[in-house]
Amino acid sequence: MTSRFTTAQLQKIIERHFAAGPAAIGDESAMNAFLTLRAYLEDGEVRAASPDPGSASGWRVNAWVKQGILLGFRLGVLQELPAGGLSFVDKSTYPVRRFGAADGVRMVPGGSSVRAGAYVARGVVCMPPMYINAGAWVDEGTMVDSHALVGSCAQIGKHVHLSAAAQIGGVLEPVNASPVVIEDDVLVGGNCGVYEGTLVRKGAVLAAGTILTRGTPVFDLVNGAVLRATGDLPLIIPENAVVVPGSRAVSKGKGQEWGLSLYAPVIVKYRDDKTDQSTALEDLLR
């Protein structure tokens, strides 16, 4: 049974128990605080990162929430977690979430799972097999396609399409590091990988096979600029950008001699009506 706390109260309690280290293990108060946080995460009352117009990136990391998620791993013990006739072993504090028709989430049969502590909004479609980890936020109308992964604490906006085998990294540690953020109306193509706190702005399109990390420079052909992560800011893909996998020639040494080139994501255009028509999701599927 969990207690009802205000967010400010819960933050102070979580921070205290997290700072206690191993001393929190077996503490009923610590477990109660974690279970409350887990329920708040699932209800969408708190999240690991939140929109913040006052910050340089437009997002704020809620480090105490990530501390609470880590606290849950510290407090849990290994136990068997039966699911669908199969047996799994995981921390007792992170069982598989169960959904009912009233939740409005389509969990299509075939081996998908959502870990406790993840927020999955009404209208989300989960095509098998896919996985959503603890602390993630998946907003209304998003489709998580087959073999797609939403990592711990990743933030996925409204009406996003995560195509087959798309990998969205999380970033749980360090607690003050920004998780991957995919804003509203983004199309993430098949076999894309978005990692290390990358921020993809509203309406962007990532063509199949695009890989984005903190160390990946992105070449914007439209504006003649090279986009990089700088200081505390992650790699940021601009609103409505259309990004495709490309390459750039190695200009010196053996790389030049051997005619080698390196992977380079390229912004080839910004979204227009023609792009919208080619990326539109079938309403009938929803």
**Nearest CA to 92 among 154, 26, 150, 46?**
26
The amino acid present at 257, given as its one-letter code, is E
Whole-number percent of the chain with pLDDT over 90: 88
Question: Is 120 in the same domain as 231?
Answer: yes
> Are the beta carbons of 134 and 66 closer than 8 angstroms?
no
**What is the separation of C-alpha 65 from the centre of its chain, rounded to a whole number of angstroms?**
15
Q: Are residues 71 and 103 in the same domain?
A: no
The domain tally of the chain equals: 2
Q: Say if residue 244 is in the same domain as residue 146.
A: yes
**CATH number reported for the structural domain that contains residue 24 in this entry:** 1.10.166.10
pLDDT beyond 90 at 81? no
Name the pTM for this structure.
Answer: 0.94
Rounded Cα–Cα distance for residues 19 and 44 (Å): 25
Asked if the structure places residue 282 within a domain, the reply is no
**Do residues 170 and 53 both lie within one domain?**
no
pLDDT at 190 over 80: yes
Q: Name the residue range of residue 242's domain.
A: 98-277
Contact criterion met (CB below 8 Å) for 163 and 146: no
Out of 126-135, 139-148, 169-178, 229-238, which region has the weakest mean confidence (pLDDT)?
169-178
Calculate mean pLDDT across residues 88-108.
95
Claim to verify: residue 213 and residue 265 sit in the same structural domain: yes
With a cut of 70, say whether residue 243 has pLDDT above it: yes
Domain boundary among 75, 107, 131: 75
Same domain, 154 and 28: no
Residue 272 burial class via C-beta count within 10 angstroms: exposed 0-12, middle 13-18, buried 19 and up: exposed
- What residue type is 130 in one-letter code? M
Residue 202: closest CA among 252, 165, 241: 241
pLDDT of residue 277: 63
Q: Are residues 121 and 42 in the same domain?
A: no
Distance CA 145, CA 271 (A): 22
Q: The domain spanning residue 117 has which CATH number? A: 2.160.10.10
Residue given tokens 């001393």 in the structure block: 23
How do residues 119-132 score in pLDDT, each as one tens digit? 999 999 999 999 99
